[in-house]
Amino acid sequence: MHIFKPNDSILTTAGEYIQSGKLVAFPTETVYGLGANAFDKKAVTAIFAAKERPFFDPLISHVADIDFLKEYAHTDERTLALARHFSPGPITFVLKRKDNRASLDLACAGLPHIAVRIPNHPVALSLIQKSGVPIVAPSANKFKTVSPTTAQHVFESLGNKVDMILDGGACHVGVESTILDMTHKNIILLRAGGIALEEIENFLNEKVIFQNISSSNPTAPGQLLKHYAPPKPLRINVSVPEADEFFIGFGQMDNVHLNLSQIADLNEAAGNLFSYLRQAGNQKLFPKIAIAPIPLHGLGLAINDRIKRASHQE
Q: Between the CA of residue 254 and those of 35, 247, 262, 275, 292, what are the distances in Å?
A: 41, 10, 10, 21, 12
pLDDT for the residue numbered 224: 75
Here the contacts of 78-87 (C-beta below 8 Å, separation 24 or greater) are 78/182, 78/187, 78/204, 79/182, 82/180, 82/200, 82/203, 82/204, 83/118, 85/203, 86/195, 86/199, 86/200, 86/203, 87/117, 87/118, 87/120
Specify the pLDDT at position 289.
98
| pLDDT at position 214 | 65
Residue extents of the structural domains in the chain:
3-210, 234-311
Q: What is the pTM for the complete model shown?
A: 0.94
Quick: pLDDT tens for 249-302.
999 999 999 999 999 999 999 999 999 999 999 999 999 999 999 999 999 999
Residues in the chain: 314
Question: Who wins on pLDDT, 212 or 282?
Answer: 282
Task: State in words which class domain 3-210 has.
Answer: alpha beta
Q: Is the pLDDT of residue 85 over 90?
A: yes
pLDDT at 220: 76
Cross-sheet strand order for the sheet of 245-249: 234-235, 288-291, 245-249, 258-259
- Answer CATH for 234-311 from 1.10.510.10, 3.30.413.10, 3.30.70.980, 3.40.50.11030: 3.40.50.11030
C-alpha torsion sign, points 71, 77, 82, 88: positive
Mean pLDDT to the nearest integer, 222-244: 92
Q: What is the pLDDT, as a whole number, of residue 27?
A: 98
Q: Is the pLDDT of residue 112 over 80?
A: yes
For residue range 53-84, list pLDDT tens digits in order.
Answer: 999 899 999 999 998 888 889 999 999 999 99
Question: Average pLDDT of 140-164?
Answer: 96
Say what the pLDDT of residue 223 is: 75
The yes-or-no verdict on residue 5 having pLDDT over 70 is yes
Residue 1 has pLDDT above 80, yes or no: no
CA distances from 95 to 65, 117, 133 (A): 16, 11, 18
pLDDT at 215 (0 to 100): 63
Task: Quickly count: other Cβ atoms within 10 Å of residue 47's Cβ.
Answer: 22
The contacts of residue 247 (CB under 8 Å, 6+ apart) are: 238, 241, 255, 256, 257, 258, 289, 290, 291, 292
CA angle, 47 as apex, 44 and 49 as ends, to 5°?
115
Query: Any residues with CB less than 8 A from the CB of 161 and at least 6 apart, and which?
Result: 23, 50
